[in-house]
């Protein structure tokens, strides 16, 4: 895909990558799919593998075979098909992970394991406004100071946020389930503990919302998907347990695009508080929208390929996608075992640090999680950090070139081409307009005294590695596809999960392993780059978003201002295909990256930028 010409489109990009994998399909995988389809048509119990069937599969796979080779393969392929059936008979639930672990660390990397007490910023206790809802957009640190000083109660905050959730959900559609009974019980307990002198820390008494792929005992965990509306998992996810232990109060389970894609779920489309005619992007659609709308103190989202970055940008939040293997995913829906990350979506950088402080570290169940330390120090001297930037990503965007007519073009083809050109030209105009905010960020950093070091992103075929995501996702939801229950999912287009899962069944085991070997190369190359710098500044979208989700690097997404009244008009209908659709008065973002498990340093630098710019203090005007 030409990112400059067509713009960054996560859903379309993922689909194209998956489709590209078909051309290199390993023969047995293609054979199994073809045999299954033929078996369904013939109603036969077992369809024999024949040289003709192998020939069809070879054509799909792009593999050349002689007649003798085809005949020789029959017995082995039949045996392999039997192994597929035996494994399928186990009916493994989504919670069962493969017997291998992805590691984002390069060879020779040293892991910091010494845990120290966090040092938080000192916050002056302010007066409580007569209207408690004036605190709706207050940071966790500011709310915590009021709660600790007993100027407000956890119950007051809980009732305030519950009321805002109910009122604004009618417009924004970000709630799947309110956890009112649980929240009020937690609030009563928090107030009693604080009154007795037991203060657990800055999250004590702070209401929060969970992306509804996190299991919460006694409540539905719907994964945002049709067919799962009544699913109840009789356990709490590890991050839920840890936030309970920190004294935080869960007030709602918030929306996500069906099975963590986009912002369309079984109840509709979650909306952007800055412009409710737009979606909030996804898949952490509800968490980003609810935080931006001042309806929770903070939220937990997840990212596999942009699901914290994209909605945080659209909704103007501060989002942290932690290093892969920093936060346990036990009790969270699995989409890609080697790429899924859980992280906070908040109003400020230090809020993200407060949440991370409570949720990081091994739980003994998610075997990807390392005993790495997260040591937050509000007084950390960020000026010691070497700051790089991807210089080429801040260069001028090349002019737009329309697709020209091909010989023999029909009237219908001309109409379709012109429509595509108009859409691409509009997207190009929005990107050109938005680039001024990226460049302004560099100017702001230089004014802070930062000596920006130009670095170049390692050149590797990152897009070609992404079919491994859909391969893992297809395995995670194998029974959904094989049973035909994928027809219950809300979205059924070529860029949606039902089709992606079917396409992924043709992605071969050999190519999956090759893609992961390519990730090893990427990890090594990025490690060499981070020997030169500690932090990298980059536009949020583009190739780095794909690359760092594959390598497992942490990313901090920061609000970077609002588009002006002169911004290009966005499309009238937001179909979810443009992650940052734009338009006057809507937010833009900036992303910062760091080496694996250097999340605390990344946040320290991001906080300095946030203090210098103040963009995180902007919020939409809602009821």
The pLDDT tens digits for 322-379 are: 999 999 999 999 999 999 999 999 999 999 999 999 999 999 999 999 999 999 999 9
3-state secondary structure (DSSP) of residue 81: helix
By the 10 Å C-beta count (0-12 exposed, 13-18 middle, 19+ buried), 599 is classed as buried
| CA 623 – CA 620 distance, rounded (Å) | 10
| CA 11 – CA 484 distance, rounded (Å) | 22
Confidence tier at 571 by pLDDT (50, 70, 90) = confident
* CA-closest candidate to residue 255, choices 204, 303, 221: 221
What's the first-to-final CA gap in the chain, in angstroms?
42
- Residue 318 pairs in a beta bridge with 346
DSSP per-residue codes, 312-381: HHHHT-EEEEPPTTSS--TTB--S-TTT-EEEEEESSHHHHHHHHHHH-S--SS-TT--------BTT--
Contact 284, 332 (CB under 8 A): no
* 398 vs 29: which has the higher pLDDT: 398
**Residue 36 confidence (pLDDT):** 57
Ramachandran region, residue 404 (left: φ > 0; alpha: ψ -120 to 50; beta: rest): beta
DSSP per-residue codes, 539-588: -SSSHHHHHHHHHT--EEEEEEEE--TTSPPPPSS--S-STT---TT-EE
Question: What is the signed CA dihedral for 193, 196, 202, 208, rounded to 10 degrees?
Answer: 30
Structure tokens at 459: 């050149």
Cα–Cα distance list, 282 to 8, 169, 262, 266 (Å): 14, 17, 4, 14
Ramachandran region, residue 277 (left: φ > 0; alpha: ψ -120 to 50; beta: rest): alpha
With a CB cutoff of 8 Å and minimum separation 6, the contacts of 322 are: 341, 342, 343, 356, 360, 554, 599
Model confidence at 152: pLDDT above 60: yes
Model confidence at 23: pLDDT above 70: no
Residues in the chain, total: 623
DSSP per-residue codes, 242-266: HHHHTT-EEEEEE--STTSSSSEET
What backbone phi and psi angles, to 5 degrees, belong to 526?
Answer: -65, -35
**Residue 29 confidence (pLDDT):** 55
Cα–Cα distance list, 264 to 230, 261, 268, 285, 521 (Å): 18, 8, 6, 9, 35
Confidence tier at 273 by pLDDT (50, 70, 90) = very high
With a CB cutoff of 8 Å and minimum separation 6, the contacts of 621 are: none
Q: What angle do CA 594, 513, 223 make, to 5 degrees?
A: 65
Confidence tier at 46 by pLDDT (50, 70, 90) = low
Q: What angle do CA 297, 300, 303 make, to 5 degrees?
A: 145
Confidence tier at 5 by pLDDT (50, 70, 90) = very low
Percent pLDDT > 70 in the chain is 92
- Strand 535-538 to strand 453-455: parallel, antiparallel, or no bridges (unpaired)? unpaired
Q: What is the mean pLDDT of the chain?
A: 91
- Residue 301 pairs in a beta bridge with 343
* 589 vs 88: which has the higher pLDDT: 589
Contact 616, 610 (CB under 8 A): yes
What is the 8-class DSSP label of residue 622? -
Q: Per-residue b/e over 470-485, b at no fewer than 16 CB within 10 Å? A: bbbbbbbbbebbeeeb
Structure tokens at 15: 């689909």
Strands (E), 443-554: 453-455, 535-538
Largest CA distance in the chain: 85
| CA 338 – CA 496 distance, rounded (Å) | 21
**Residue 510 confidence (pLDDT):** 86
Average pLDDT over residues 295-320: 98
**Residue 85 confidence (pLDDT):** 81
SS3 of 267-290 = CEECEECCEEEEECCCCCHHHHHH
Average pLDDT over residues 91-107: 94
> 531-550: per-residue pLDDT in tens?
999 999 999 999 999 999 99
3-state secondary structure (DSSP) of residue 589: strand
What domains, with CATH codes, occur in the chain? 3-91+464-514 (no CATH), 132-371+381-387+534-608 (3.90.1300.10)
**Residue 45 confidence (pLDDT):** 52
Q: If you search the block for the tokens 């007649």, which residue do you land on? A: 67
Cα–Cα distance list, 389 to 287, 323, 386, 582, 592 (Å): 29, 19, 10, 24, 9
Structure tokens at 73: 């393969």
Q: Which of 46-50, 134-138, 448-452, 498-502 has the lowest mean pLDDT?
A: 46-50
Confidence tier at 2 by pLDDT (50, 70, 90) = very low
Average pLDDT over residues 7-33: 45
Active-site residue list: 211, 283, 307
**Residue 1 confidence (pLDDT):** 34
The pTM for the full model equals 0.92
**From the centroid of its chain, how far is CA 245?**
25
* CA-closest candidate to residue 456, choices 545, 392, 530, 387: 392
């Amino acid at each position: 895909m030409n990112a400059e010409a067509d713009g960054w489109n996560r859903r379309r990009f993922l689909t194209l990558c998956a489709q590209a994998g078909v051309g290199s399909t390993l023969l047995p995988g293609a054979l199994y799919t073809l045999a299954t389809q033929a078996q369904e048509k013939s109603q036969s119990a077992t369809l024999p593998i024949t040289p003709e069937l192998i020939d069809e599969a070879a054509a799909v796979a792009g593999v050349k075979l002689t007649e003798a080779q085809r005949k020789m393969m029959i017995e082995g392929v039949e045996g392999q098909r039997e192994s597929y059936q035996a494994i399928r008979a186990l009916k493994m639930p989504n919670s069962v992970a493969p017997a291998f672990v992805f590691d984002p660390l390069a060879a020779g990397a040293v892991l910091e394991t010494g845990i120290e007490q966090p040092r938080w910023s000192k916050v002056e206790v302010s007066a409580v406004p007569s209207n408690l809802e004036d605190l709706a957009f207050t940071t966790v640190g500011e709310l915590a100071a009021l709660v600790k000083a007993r100027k407000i109660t956890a119950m007051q905050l809980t009732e305030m946020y519950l009321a805002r959730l109910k009122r604004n959900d009618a417009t924004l559609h970000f709630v799947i389930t309110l956890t009112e009974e649980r929240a009020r019980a937690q609030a009563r307990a928090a107030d009693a503990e604080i009154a007795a002198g037991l203060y657990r820390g800055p999250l004590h008494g702070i209401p929060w919302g969970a992306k509804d792929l996190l299991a919460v005992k006694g409540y539905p965990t719907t994964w945002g998907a049709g067919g799962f509306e009544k699913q109840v998992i009789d356990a709490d996810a590890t991050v839920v347990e840890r936030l309970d232990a920190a004294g935080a109060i869960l007030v709602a389970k918030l929306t996500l695009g069906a099975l963590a894609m986009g912002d369309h779920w079984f109840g509709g489309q979650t909306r952007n508080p800055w412009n409710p005619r737009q979606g909030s992007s996804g898949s952490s659609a509800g968490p980003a929208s609810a935080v931006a709308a001042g309806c929770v103190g903070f939220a937990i989202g997840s990212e596999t390929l942009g699901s914290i970055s994209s909605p945080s940008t659209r909704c103007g939040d501060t989002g942290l996608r932690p290093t892969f293997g920093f936060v346990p995913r036990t009790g969270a829906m699995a989409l890609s075992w080697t790429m899924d990350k859980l992280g906070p979506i908040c109003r400020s950088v230090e809020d993200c640090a407060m949440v991370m402080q409570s949720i990081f570290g091994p739980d003994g169940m998610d075997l990807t999680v390392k005993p790495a330390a997260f040591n937050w120090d509000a007084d950390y001297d960020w000026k010691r950090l070497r700051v790089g930037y991807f210089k080429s990503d801040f260069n001028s965007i090349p002019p737009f070139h329309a697709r020209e007519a091909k010989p023999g073009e029909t009237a219908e083809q001309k109409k379709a081409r012109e429509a595509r050109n108009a859409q691409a030209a509009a997207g190009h105009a929005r990107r050109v307009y938005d680039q001024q905010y990226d460049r302004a960020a560099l100017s702001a950093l230089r004014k802070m005294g930062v000596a920006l070091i130009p670095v170049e992103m390692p050149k590797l075929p990152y897009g070609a590695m992404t079919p491994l995501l859909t391969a893992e996702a297809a395995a995670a939801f194998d029974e959904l596809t094989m049973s035909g229950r994928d027809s219950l999912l809300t979205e059924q287009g070529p860029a949606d999960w039902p089709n992606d899962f079917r396409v992924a069944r043709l992605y071969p085991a050999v190519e999956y392993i090759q893609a992961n070997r390519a990730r090893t190369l990427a990890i090594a190359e990025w490690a060499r780059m981070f020997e030169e710098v500690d932090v990298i500044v980059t536009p949020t979208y583009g190739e780095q978003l794909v690359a760092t989700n594959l390598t497992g690097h942490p990313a901090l997404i920061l609000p970077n201002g609002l588009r002006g009244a002169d911004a290009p008009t966005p499309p009238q209908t937001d179909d979810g295909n443009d992650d940052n659709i734009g338009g006057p008065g809507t937010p833009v973002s900036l992303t910062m990256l760091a080496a694996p498990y250097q999340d605390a340093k990344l946040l320290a630098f991001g906080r300095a930028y946030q203090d210098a710019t103040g963009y995180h203090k902007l919020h939409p005007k809602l009821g």
